[in-house]
Structure 1
Amino acid sequence: MLTRTREATPAAPPAPVGRSAFAPRDLLAEALAGMLQRPARSALTMLGTVLGVGAFVAVLGLTATASSQIDARFNVLSATEVTIEDIAREQDEFADAAFPDDASDRVERLNGVRHAGVLWSVQSRGTGTGLTVAAAPVGDAAGEPLNVVAASSGALLAAEPRLSQGRLYDDFHTATRQRVTVIGSGIAARLGITTLETRPAIFIGGQPFTVAGVVEDVQRRPDLLLAVLVPETTAVELWGRPAQGARMLIATELGAAGQVAGEAPTALRPDHPEYFRAIPPPDPKSLRSSVTSDLEQLFLLLAAVCLVIGAVGIANTTLVAVLERTGEIGLRRALGAQRRHVTAQFLAESGTLGGFGGLVGTALGTLAVLAVALIREWTPVMHPAVLATAPLIGLATGVVAGIYPARRAASVQPAEALRG
């Protein structure tokens, strides 16, 4: 019997297997899931990055804020101060003191000058040593050695003192050679002077002086707070003219300091302007850089150390996660995940940790700058580039820290992982 066999139909070819892919959205979701799975450990891991980025933002913000305050103070005080030094002995060893008797009047006639006056440290006549000061007439040798400064009334006004008691001596006291003095609050406390209502007197080199005022603070020449100030004419009468070391303090209008510094030596001595050295205000750029450079370098180094610690913490945590999730990695590889997918997953997790740490650190650093500015009554200054760069630094730190653990995870073999 003949039988007809059915023709076998050819089997359909297998469907092509598409190339496995890892969408960016899925990658971010996996990274967030891995970070939130152990939130406490993730928070501690981010701490180093938070501190590093926060220190970076705070340092740059505080230095920028401090620089603006230095500029403001420079404009108000330093830009309006000129000092004239007597260097006559450097030019001619036989020259006498260069400042004339009417030095203050000559300089105050210049345009832009508010106050001007001569001052010098008084030395005992004959011995050339400093004077002693006492609260009672117990003799010169029994007094306390203090810095006694002869200063004209114009020099006092140029220093811009703030009095706690009494008043400053003026042109009348200078013209009549009155024996009055103005002292700092610290010296008053050392001498036991608590009030001026009783018109207390002190003894300078054995000579009695009435205390006219007590100075609490000065805007210029803070060393005057530690000195006993007497009128220059009185000092000349009692102890003679200064052999050297006299100088003039000039307070000018804003913007006039450079011009005054150039004109003052000629106004003082038209015959010998070279006997004086005029010291104009310093350059504000060099002043700002000298004040802030050391501080900035120190704290940026501290920020770098914190970032290194943060990177080590992220690397360690990510490596531990690789060891804990070896089975998961093997399963992913068995289901078609390629090495680059595993590498990308762990780099995304470490980068997410670093990025969140950078964001938190930026916020904390900004708050620190605002807090300091608020306490000091400053205007906070933050450069937008710093705020934009700081989170990226945290992100880069996390990615760099995750390179080795990610490569370690990518090298896991599926069979060995599943067998374990």
Structure 2
Amino acid sequence: MTDTQPVRLALTDILRLGMLGISTRKLRAALSALGISIGIATMIIVTGIPASSQAALLEELSALGTNMLRAEPAPNQTPPVLLPESSLGSVERIGPVTGAAMVANTHTVVRRSDRTDPNDGSGLTVLASSLGLLDAINGKVHSGKFLDPSTQDFPTAVLGYVAATRLGINQLVPGQQAPQVYIANHWFSVIGILDPMPLAPDVERAVMVGWGAAKSQLGFDGHPTVMYVKARENAIEDVRAVLPDTLYAQLPGLVQVSRPSDALAAKRASESNFSALFLGLAGVALLVGGVGVANTMFISVLERRREIGLRRALGATRGQIRSQFLTEAVALSGLGGLAGTVLGVVVTLGYATYQGWPPVIPPLAVVGGVLGAVVVGVVAGIHPSIRAARLTPTQALAST
């Protein structure tokens, strides 16, 4: 009598047997895979959308001034700290500095007319400005032009975006007489209006006049109150460290230096916290999906006991039965993960495009989504497949 060896099933045969249970119970399989799909789609969406938002934010920061520093005397000092009039030249001599400008509060009131309340300045500030201000803060002119050597010593003014709105001067028309504003009993002709500058709100709410005009007509003492500095990004921290000594060598601790982008870094941190929360929700969705797959596999084992008994009677080994049901669980989760990945990518691309952001799909989220679904399928299918393999032919065929 010769020993009979069980037939070894090829991988394609195992896959075909595993897909058989899915194809014969399509609705139940679809509902089970839905939980996996929702979890994977959520994971991709909550990583892709913040990544796209961050990419757009970084582009905006790069355009507005990630390499920009703002230095000013510490507030509430008695006597107040006065930066030297030579501050601009001193800062420009720092090696990595690529641009610098200074402004000073003239402590005067600007009005639309000499007939309005002399104390009502509409919450606006009159700043004496050096000529390189726009380059230093990456500002742009909305209408007209900025101060230049031919106008800085004359009664001319440039309005920040908010200041122009409050003064009712929103556009300058070439060829027409320039509108005027009243500053400290002097009329100044408006020659320019600036675009919005989110990283320089003090400039948005200010009226800029030339350094020479501020001295001759507004009684300005010539001491700058704020320095704007641009430097190479790889040396920005080094420049930040030496600025206080450069501006006020006597007591450098009384000069504070900040980066306008620091507030937006806090915004990115809060977005990361929300992303962690949503990733937790995605994990819960995956867990629920895994429970659904496990439940489906348990029911499948109970419903197919006769099939299992018949296959065992015809010579199928426990390992083959186990492989069949485990493959079915992995295939069910894998199909759900693939559908969830496609859904997550489509939603992320659509939302990023709608918001005008550069679409970013983290590759790790896509790969991790599919692999995560497969892992869930393995975990959910191990016990049902082992239970099916333990059934003897007589137990399986005797069930009704």
Output the amino acid matched with 1:105.
G
Q: Which residue of 1 aligns with 2:24?
A: 37
TM-superposed CA distance for 1:264, in Å, is 3.9
1:150 aligns with one of 127, 130, 152: 127
Distance 1:97 1:397 in 2: 65
The structure with the larger Rg is 1
1:48 aligns with one of 30, 35, 38: 35
Q: Which residue of 1 aligns with 2:74?
A: 87
Of 192-201 and 28-37, deviating more is 192-201
Secondary structure in 2 matching 1:165:
strand
1:195 aligns with 2:179: no
Secondary structure in 2 matching 1:32:
helix
Structure 1 contact 57–390 (Cα < 8 Å) conserved: yes
Output the amino acid matched with 2:179.
P
Unmatched runs of 5 consecutive residues or more in structure 1:
1-12, 125-130
Output the amino acid matched with 1:81.
M
Q: Which residue of 2 aligns with 1:350?
A: 329
Distance 1:21 1:213 in 2: 84
TM-superposed CA distance for 1:24, in Å, is 4.1
Secondary structure in 1 matching 2:195:
strand
Q: Which residue of 1 aligns with 2:85?
A: 101
Secondary structure in 2 matching 1:217:
coil
Map Cα deviations across residues 149-204 of structure 1 (whole Å, 9 max, x no partner): 5241333431121222111123554444x2523120x5534543343234223456
Distance 2:170 2:72 in 1: 36
Distance 2:194 2:122 in 1: 19
TM-superposed CA distance for 1:246, in Å, is 3.0
Distance 2:345 2:299 in 1: 33
Q: Which residue of 1 aligns with 2:157?
A: 180
For residues 144 and 415 of structure 1, do their structure 2 counterparts lie closer, same or farther at Cα, with a shift above 3 Å needed? Answer: same
Distance 2:399 2:31 in 1: 33
For residues 17 and 264 of structure 1, do their structure 2 counterparts lie closer, same or farther at Cα, with a shift above 3 Å needed? Answer: closer
Map Cα deviations across residues 218-247 of structure 1 (whole Å, 9 max, x no partner): 38425533444444666676486699x932
Q: Which residue of 2 aligns with 1:332?
A: 311
Structure 1 contact 148–230 (Cα < 8 Å) conserved: no
Q: How many aligned residue pairs are there?
A: 391
Structure 1 contact 314–398 (Cα < 8 Å) conserved: yes
TM-superposed CA distance for 1:291, in Å, is 6.9
Output the amino acid matched with 1:304.
G
TM-superposed CA distance for 1:115, in Å, is 3.2
TM-score, normalized by length of structure 1? 0.73
Q: Which residue of 2 aligns with 1:128?
A: none
Map Cα deviations across residues 70-102 of structure 1 (whole Å, 9 max, x no partner): 667666665532222213865xx33x4321223
Distance 2:309 2:146 in 1: 88
Paired-residue identity, % = 29
Instruction: Kindly report the root-mean-square deviation, in angstroms, between the aligned alpha carbons of the 2 structures.
Output: 4.3
TM-superposed CA distance for 1:338, in Å, is 5.5
Distance 2:37 2:259 in 1: 45
Map Cα deviations across residues 124-165 of structure 1 (whole Å, 9 max, x no partner): 6xxxxxx57556732235x47324252413334311212221
For residues 149 and 54 of structure 1, do their structure 2 counterparts lie closer, same or farther at Cα, with a shift above 3 Å needed? Answer: farther
Secondary structure in 1 matching 2:191:
strand
Q: Which residue of 2 aligns with 1:400?
A: 379
For residues 401 and 87 of structure 1, do their structure 2 counterparts lie closer, same or farther at Cα, with a shift above 3 Å needed? Answer: same
TM-superposed CA distance for 1:250, in Å, is 1.0
Map Cα deviations across residues 292-317 of structure 1 (whole Å, 9 max, x no partner): 63254234223213312321332233
TM-superposed CA distance for 1:347, in Å, is 2.1
Of 16-25 and 157-166, deviating more is 16-25
